[in-house]
Structure 1
Amino acid sequence: MERLRRTLASPTIAPMSEQSTPRLLLVDGSSYLYRAFFAGGDAMSTTLPDGTVQKTGAIRIMINMMQKLLKDHPSTWAACVFDASGPTFRDALYPEYKQHRSPMPDDLRSQIAPIHEVVRLSGWPVLDVPGVEADDVIGTLAVAAASQGIEVLISSGDKDLAQLVNEHITIIDTMSGKVRDLAGVEAEFGVPARLMLDYQMLVGDSIDNVPGVNKVGPKTAVKLLQEYGSIDNLIAQADQVKGAVGENLRQALDWLPTGRQLLTIKTDCDLNGWVPGLPALDAVRMGEPQKEPLRAFYETYGFKGLAKALGGGEAAVPAAASAPVPGSTNDLFSDPASDIPRASNLAYDTILTWEAFDAWLNKLEAAELTAIDTETTSLDEMVAQIVGISFSVTPGEAAYIPLKHEGPDAPGQLPFDEVLARLKPWLENPARQKLGQHIKYDRHVFANHGIEVQGYAHDTMLQSYVLEVHKPHGLSSLAERHLGRGGISYEDLCGKGAHQIPFAQVDVAKAAEYSCEDSDQTLDVHRVLWPQIEADAKLKFIYELEIASSETLYRIERNGVLIDAPTLAKQSHELGQRIFALEQEAYEIAGQPFNLSSPKQLGEIFFDKLGLPVIKKTATGARSTDEEVLEKLAEDYPLPAKILEHRSLIKLKGTYTDKLAQLALPRTGRVHTHYAQAVAVTGRLSSNDPNLQNIPIRTAEGRKVREAFVAAPDHVIASADYSQIELRIMAHLSDDAALLRAFHEGHDVHRATAAEVFGIKPEEVSSEQRRYAKTINFGLIYGMGTFGLAKSLGIENAAAKTYIDRYFARFAGVKQYMDDTRALAKEQGYVETAFGRKLVLPDIKNAKGAKLAALERQAINAPMQGTAADLIKLAMVAVQKALDDQGKGTKMIMQVHDELVFEVPEAEVDWLRTEIPRLMAGVAQLKVPLLAEVGVGPNWEQAH
């Protein structure tokens, strides 16, 4: 069920046929081509006749975008405006202008000339005026047309253009569905369009590196403009503006005239030679597509579907571009990955009779792959009930079965139980392959009705996660990015906030369109993404692992973990008493009662009354009492230590001991967490509702919470986890001889490290030296530097540097791996796990200073975290298969980082102690042996 806030791709702007006035349509081509590129512009390539390999994804997507825009908004006059290469007056005025922008990717640069060519061949006037930015060309054309009473529609996502908006000029963002007319600008920015330049002068433009007034953000800018009416009035009365804002404003007075020149969109550019006869707009009249040159272009760049479509109808428009079905969203485009022409119309059926049901069931039985989507009563998969189901087996076709719609206008619907009973054999048939978007959710929904769906072969959310981990994976994002399609949002149907209605009350016709669209788009997205995965052996392995993990996680979530509510209640009471005692102790130290959660009162007590040193200040100049400051002060003073303990216990009580029992499902008495797969870029799982991975275990109170995770009668809890997994992965990846030797010989790796660093025999290593070595081992994995190590060990920076230097001298392979990984990440923009999962760092190529250092730390750590994530997923899948194959009663009930937790019948404990470590150690062959250890007890804490 795709619920996540999709917006309509085509904003509500009246089509030409509904308007009495002519229209000029202006496209911000530079914005379009960047969007086309980052929406998949590097995903396709072809070999040109001269043997050159040419990237074509941005070209293909640009064609899609331009065709759809013109279809939605046909116009007499139109132009696609690009930035020309070379400097403009702004560069001469301010040399730092746009200096922070990343250089254009080479794969995009190579597609610009073909994009210009195909847009021209499609009938669009194309403008790229030397020395004039695209915004200024657009501004000049827009104002000239508006002055003649012509309605102007600008298609761009650039907020800077909002200063042009008036009663004749409107901006649309076709990617987000945003409309910036007079009302839209004021609603979005808080100021009328006539004040947008003033607003921009105050806040600046970080993208173009144009400063504003220091520390004046959008809220402050709006407040100032509302109070003073304009920036000119504000400047005239700058002496009256109080506080830091006034001081910063006065310091910026000399700069603001320059800022105005840089930010003002020029509307009087000399376009002579580019737009002759501008008052009549003759040079920007929309032309006819040039059919034969277009055909040659399409064939050259491998767009066979587009070339074929030219022969059957209107030039340059694929077969899919015929009139939309009333009440549906018409997909205009061929499949961007394979260029397969789409069906000409969307055919969405609503199944209200058994005859229609049987016809579609026959389609499902005959289909090679079926996309399924459920509409439900809740986003909580453990309680959600089905309202309706949709299917799609062919692009452009789908059907919706309404089952629980209610209200006076709801049509007669087929009997709920009988429909599910007749679908159940097909749903539970593993030979009938199925597809979904977030299939784990739909598995739960069907299971709530006694149906265990088999045959789920694909999940578009996981396909996106494997292919493009750093991008959004919701269906609306995928459809926009890969299909050029928008769709109906859940809020469009149900409203939002207090006025939101249940899906069961949505008009059936609208619900059918919404759900059919989800199934149809899911099938289409799969047709784009799956060929890319299938063609890459590494990606295919990771994707198959994610699909198998989804199945196993479904089982873990379904099993849940039994919660001992009385134990939690007792712990909550004890924590409450300790929290109260800490408050009294804090009052005694401070010499007065105060609010322990108030930064203001803490500052007064700490710095005014007790004279504690000020560690740092906030952005507003106040003395900080944040967590970092408290930890530093707690090293020397008792009150900050009490505050830290008080905060940690309040969080523990509020998050876990008070709430866990409330989160248990009444019908099971168990907590059923949700494991999100497509979140962490490293491949790690995320647990939520409740988060079972963040229970603090470094304090006695935190560890006690795990005592409330118990086994059913005649069962025990078992915990199996990998021993020193990330260090073993480091040894594997770095090929360091000393680390490999330590693991192969079964040594205590921290003792072995201490012996190397301190130059002594392993048996001479003290517990303190071993602790130091352990901190160094794990710290370096996480990219810790000299300062961080010094802080962790409580030593001087010079001593920490000595330890690090000694470490790298003894473990030269680790040092080489880190250096090589930094260089590789910067060169290619990503790193990989041992199994080939790509961990993308999109900003590392152009990052500098502290940001680069942070990204380099991520690059070093990500392959280890990611490989550990891959290993635990492999282990989950292997263990679940063994449990199923051998008919065991043992259930996997949690996955927490590198640990698997089980509820085990007492009769199977001996089997588990032997088999689970063997299975976990055998899922992969690294250069060092994998070791898994098992603990058993009546509860989770005692199983450790």
Structure 2
Amino acid sequence: MKRLYLLDAMALAYRAHYVFISRPLVNSKGQNTSAAYGFTTSLLKLMEDHAMDYLAVVFDAPGEEGTFRETLYEAYKAHREPPPEDLQANLPWIKEIVQALDIPLLEEPGVEADDVIGTLARRAESHGIEVVIVSPDKDFLQLLSPRITLYRPSRRGETFEPITEETFRQTYGIAPQQFIDVLALMGDPSDNVPGVPGIGEKTALQLIQQYGSVENLLAHAEEVPGKRAREGLLAHREAALLSKKLVTIHTDVPLRISWQAFHRAQPDSARLMRIFQELEFESLLRRLREEGLGGQSLPEPPEAEISFAFGPYQPLAVYDPKKANYRIVRNLTELEALLPQLEGHARLSIDTETTSTEAMWASLVGVAISWEKGQGVYLPTPLPDGTPTEVVLRRLAPYVQSVPLKVGQNLKYDLLVLARHGLELPPPYFDTMVAHYLIAPEEPHSLDVLARQYLHYQTVPIAELIGSGKDQKSMRDVAIDAVGPYACEDTDIALQLADVLAEELDRLGLRKIAEAMEFPLIEVLADMERTGIGIDRGVLREIGAQLEAELHQLEAEIYRLAGVAFTIGSPQQLAEVLFKRLGLKPRARTGTGRPSTKESVLEELATQHPLPGLVLDWRHLAKLKSTYVEGLEPLIHPETGRIHTTFNQTITATGRLSSSNPNLQNIPVRTEVGREIRRAFIPRPGWKLLSADYVQIELRILAAMSGDEALQRAFAEGQDIHAATAARVFHVPLAQVTPEQRRKAKMVNYGIPYGISAWGLAQRLRCPTREAQALIEEYQRAFPGVTRFLHQMVEKARQKGYVETLLGRRRYVPNINSPNRAERSMAERIAVNMPIQGTQADMIKLAMVHIYHRLRREGYRAKMILQVHDELVFEIPPEELDAVSQLVVEEMKRALPLEGVPIEVDIGIGDNWLDAH
């Protein structure tokens, strides 16, 4: 059977570019070659794995007249950003490489690549030819048939996921051609396809499963049970029908091309070698010389300056039961036989299988352990012979607890789950996810990504076991024989990764920060999450009633000003009031061409009429009510009666912690209602909350890192730093600084060190840009050390490609030398901001580790329970308040001393978080 492969060139080029976005490939000429390299390696991988004899690479070539979709809908793709400059610069190289490989390259003017691919696929299918479309674009799912398959690239690496008509039907429960209707309802913001407001993918699937098509759904729109979907369908009938036309791939484009034109005959190896030498693709040159693509024998290339090397090409390995020694313990006898085998090892890799991704809500399904490459053992809990979970863990405990080093991926989760089931795992730890976060903070850190990147290994996807979407099942319901190899593979791969990542930490000088801070912090965060914090339901309901009353007042005033009652949360109805009834002029438009009512538009309109400002207030209160007042109560754990937030250690590129479920970092503190929400967070009965907050810590770090004498002196003398800055900027004695001058100086202090522009400062101060520029220049003259330091940070980033904190934590700045001004400016802001914010993150993390261990070592009952920005929150029995307060201040001050600058910590104590703060 002949098979035709059709490659969606731009989608694959975009993917290749962004795979390397955090650490782009740049040759000695300063050219970003990421897209060309990623595209080429993926293409070669496909050719090697699938013996692709018939194929074509299809590019967009819409032409000056546009496409039929733009004729249908003028706003189609109107707001899509052009491809990044670096990607555009790679496209000619990609085309040259494709042609040198003797692969047909198709560009049909006036037609999108999707329609060319769709036409060729249907034409080939009609002649009995199998077709494989290679693209990450889900729009091609509508073309699937018994002879047409879609290969979607994995998020990272070079593997491809085949999607057939059968697997599509199993996943979505509809026919492939009905996916057109799903896409039409969803819309596509990136292409300005309007869709139907209020309908996302899940709802769209349910509706098409029930009604079959957009047309039939519109005919029965009034019967749709969901209010948002029903109102959207009734109000946007024409948009739905238009969207269906826009998302339908045309399969009847008049193309003049013969079957034989797709046949690969003879690659031009000499041309390929010249291209790879020009781009400095050392590993591809090596493959070309050794394998002789096309059978040609190639001479050794002349010496060239190679600025980087990717290493030899290696195909991805997969789980092979004949090679991997993975076992399952099925009864107590086998457990007892296993235990002696766990003794005497320097380290163990451990992983849990559970019923939930939320550690505080998960039930343990099993434990996997590995101690050498290619080996692993899985212990279901309970064992198949009925041995209870507590017995399994009790027998296991002394053996795993005594091992010198525990290895794993996302160990904090496993520590929490095991601790809740009675097994405590003491440090030290080596967490592969955390290690990679230090090595490459902005890249993905999942086990499958790391396995592909460092071990050239493709792990078994969890979806193969539990499925996905509405059909997803619990790991408890999966056969033990399927779970066992999956779990053992996780521990085996984590153990192998630990060796590779340890070498990387050493190479980059990051081992010390890992072992002194990030790895010990895992235990600290696990304990904080397990402890949680109390919530006063009565206060939540009281605040909810208060918000409800304020919302009603705002609604009444908004209706009075509008002269009509309407649904304030409806953008369409609000636009009707603002722009038709009140006659205000629209400032921006949505993708469907309607006047926009987004926040920035309302802020601008608020200067002309009071109603937009009141709508902003209404939105703020409504969000507080839904997110925190109504959103917190369902998160209260039924067993503990407390909230257990999750602290994320590997999310932010600066090193700061974040939190989720709930996100405590975003509780507003600048408004009275926002501050009131903190009143609902309480300690256990009879105890107190203590809040410890670093005072102006980022400015103190700036003073220390820059060595600026004036800034250091102001802190050393205990001056009000904003007043001291105002005195120098406005050239007045400190005692004569006005409140307005201090306010402006405060904006300057927190803006200029982070690269704020004159325009940005003017927006914050609500002053003319000329005045803001003058303030910036005065600041630069007043604090020359700061100005010099900021320039030095940018220059170091240009030279090294990354910036560092005082302790050596890195953040890569790939666009620091970009010819694109916007990208370069953003990179420069990162270059001056990250060393300061990252050093603050390092400081509070070290303080957390030291405080945690002192509290335990010295026998205190007090618990550290929250970390938010520069603040730590503790739950303390009254008799320990004085001693623990002193301990906390001591450790926060000496966590990371700053040369020439004192560190100050504010302490507050109260019966709730608001009073303590």
Q: TM-score range by the shorter chain?
A: 0.7 to 0.9
Aligned with 1:395: secondary structure?
coil
Question: What is the alpha-carbon distance in structure 2 between the residues aligned to residue 834 and residue 638 of structure 1?
Answer: 48
Number of the residue aligned with 2:111: none
Q: Name the residue aligned to 1:425.
A: 398
Indicate how the Cα distance of structure 1 residues 61 and 248 shifts in structure 2: closer, same or farther if over 3 A, else same.
Answer: closer
Using the TM superposition, give the Cα deviation of residue 721 of structure 1 relative to its aligned residue in structure 2, in angstroms: 1.1
CA deviation vs aligned residue, 1:686-710 (integer Å, no higher than 9, x gap): 1111122211111112112212222
How far is 1:67 from its partner? 8.7
The superposition leaves residues 767-786 of structure 1 with CA deviations (integer Å, 9 ceiling, x where unpaired) of 11111100111122343222
- Equivalent in the alignment of 1:310: none
CA deviation map 1:752-796 (0-9, x unaligned): 110111011111111111111001111223432222222222222
Over residues 300-327 of structure 1, what are the superposed CA-to-partner deviations in whole Å (9 max), with x where a residue is unaligned?
A: 99xxxx99xxxxxxxx999x98xxxxxx
- Aligned residue number for residue 785 of structure 2: 813
- Which of 420, 424, 437 is 1:452 aligned to? 424
1:512 equivalent in structure 2: 484
- 1:383 equivalent to 2:361? Answer yes
2:560 paired with 1:582: no
- Who is 2:347 aligned against? 369
| Letter paired with 2:393 | L
- The whole-number CA distance in structure 2 between the counterparts of 1:592 and 1:217 is 28
1:351 aligns with 2:340: no
- Corresponding position of 2:388: 415
Aligned with residue 162 of structure 2, among 150, 165, 179: 179
Report 1:47-446 matches (<5 A). Answer: 100=83, 103=86, 128-129=100-101, 133=105, 172-173=151-152, 175=154, 177-179=160-162, 215=192, 274=266, 329-330=318-319, 345-404=323-382, 411-429=384-402, 431-446=403-418
Query: Aligned-pair distance for 1:904?
Result: 1.7
For 1:929, the equivalent position in structure 2 comes to 902
Aligned to 1:939: 912
Trace 1:650-669 onto structure 2 (pairs within 5 A).
650-669=622-641
Structure 1 residue 620 displacement after superposition: 3.3
Q: CA deviation at 1:837?
A: 1.5
Change over 3 Å in CA distance of 1:272–1:144 after alignment to 2: farther
Aligned-partner Cα distance in 1 for 2:908–2:256? 68
* 1:281 matched residue in structure 2: none
Report the CA distance between 1:103 and its aligned residue: 4.9
Change (3 A) 1:528 1:42: farther
What secondary structure sits across from 2:359 in the alignment? coil
Give the alignment partner of residue 884 of structure 1, picking from 856, 864, 888: 856
Contact 2:668-2:675 within 8 A present in 1 as well: yes
Opposite residue 770 of structure 2, the aligned amino acid is A
Please tell me the root mean square deviation across aligned C-alpha atoms, in Å: 5.4
Change in CA separation of 1:28 and 1:786 when aligned onto 2, cut-off 3 Å: closer
- Report the equivalent of 1:467: 439
Aligned residue in 2 for 1:626: 598
Alignment partners' CA distance in 2, 1:158 and 1:264: 25
Alpha-carbon distance in structure 1 between the residues aligned to 2:822 and 2:454: 34
Aligned to 1:880, the other structure's residue is in SS state helix
Who is 1:766 aligned against? 738
The alignment partner of 2:458 has SS state of: coil
Q: 1:659-701 CA distances to partner (integer Å, 9 max, x unpaired)? A: 4344222332221111011111111111111122211111112
Shift of 1:269: 5.2
Contact 2:797/2:803 (<8 A) preserved? yes
Aligned to 1:720: 692
Counterpart of 1:780? 752
Q: Secondary structure at the match of 1:179?
A: strand
Describe the shift of the 1:457–1:105 C-alpha distance in structure 2 as closer, same or farther (beyond 3 A): farther
Instruction: Tell me the amino acid that sits aligned with residue 385 of structure 2.
Output: G
> Which region of structure 1 is more displaced relative to structure 2, 713-722 or 842-851?
842-851
Q: Is the 8 A contact 1:351 1:401 kept in 2?
A: yes
- CA shift, 1:389, in A, is 1.2
**8 Å contact from structure 1 (residues 363, 393) kept in 2:** no
Alignment of 1:559-638 (within 5 A): 559-635=531-607, 637-638=609-610
Q: State the alpha-carbon separation in 1 of the partners of residues 895 and 143 from structure 2.
A: 61
Q: Distance in 2 between matches of 1:812 and 1:387?
A: 61
Q: What is the match of residue 13 of structure 1?
A: none
* Partner SS state of residue 640, structure 1: helix
- Structure 1 match to 2:834: 862
Shift of 1:483: 2.6
> Does residue 520 of structure 2 align to residue 548 of structure 1?
yes
Asked whether the equivalents of residues 129 and 274 of structure 1 are also in contact (C-alpha less than 8 Å), the reply is yes
Identity of aligned residues (%): 35
Shift in CA distance, 587/243, structure 1 to aligned 2, threshold 3 Å: closer
Native 8 Å contact 2:375 2:492 kept in 1: yes
Alignment pair present for 1:674 and 2:646:
yes
Deviations 1:158-180 (A, max 9, x none): 99999999976756356464225
Distance 1:739 1:452, change over 3 A: same
Q: Is the 8 A contact 1:711 1:903 kept in 2?
A: yes
Q: Greater CA deviation, 98-107 or 594-603?
A: 98-107
Secondary structure of residue in 1 paired with 2:398: helix
Letter in 2 for 1:576: E
Pair 1:493 & 2:471 matched:
no
CA distance in 2, matches of 1:60, 1:594: 52
In the TM superposition, what is the alpha-carbon distance from 1:877 to its structure 2 partner? 0.8
Q: Does 385-394 or 706-715 show the bigger shift?
A: 706-715
Aligned AA (1:913) = S
* Alpha-carbon contact 1:631-1:641 (below 8 Å) kept: yes
User: Does the 8 Å contact 1:493/1:506 carry over to 2?
Assistant: yes
Compute the displacement of 1:133 (Å): 4.8
Q: Counterparts of 2:619 and 2:856 in 1: how far apart (Å)?
A: 45
- Matched residue count: 811
Deviation by residue 1:16-67 (Cα, 9 ceiling, x = unmatched): xxxxx5879999999999999987999999xxxxxxxxx9xx9999999989
Report the equivalent of 1:280: none
Distance 1:68 1:794, change over 3 A: closer
1:428 deviates by 3.0
Q: What SS does the aligned partner of 1:391 have?
A: strand
In 2, the alpha carbon distance for the partners of 1:246 and 1:509 equals 49
What SS does the aligned partner of 2:593 have? Answer: coil
- Structure 2: how far apart are the matches of 1:539 and 1:105? 38
Instruction: State the 1:538 CA deviation.
Output: 3.1
Name which of structure 1's ranges 547-556 and 374-383 shifts more when overlaid on structure 2.
374-383
Letter of the aligned partner of 1:473 in structure 2? Answer: H
Q: Tell me the equivalent position of 2:495.
A: 523
The residue type paired with residue 638 of structure 1 is P
CA distance, structure 1, for counterparts of residue 904 and residue 258 of structure 2: 68
- From 870, 873, 883, give the equivalent of 1:901: 873
Once the two structures are overlaid, the 10-residue window that deviates more, 603-612 or 553-562, is 603-612
CA distance in 2, matches of 1:624, 1:34: 29
| CA distances 1:510-556 after superposition (whole Å, capped 9, x unpaired) | 12122222222222322332221133323541464211111111111
**How far is 1:352 from its partner?**
0.8
Question: Can you give the 5+ residue segments of structure 2 that lack an aligned partner in the other structure?
Answer: 26-32, 66-80, 109-115, 205-212, 216-236, 269-289
Q: Contact (CA 8 Å) 2:195, 2:239: kept in 1 or not? A: no
Distance in 1, Cα, partners of 2:643 & 2:905: 26
Q: Which amino acid aligns with 1:941?
A: L
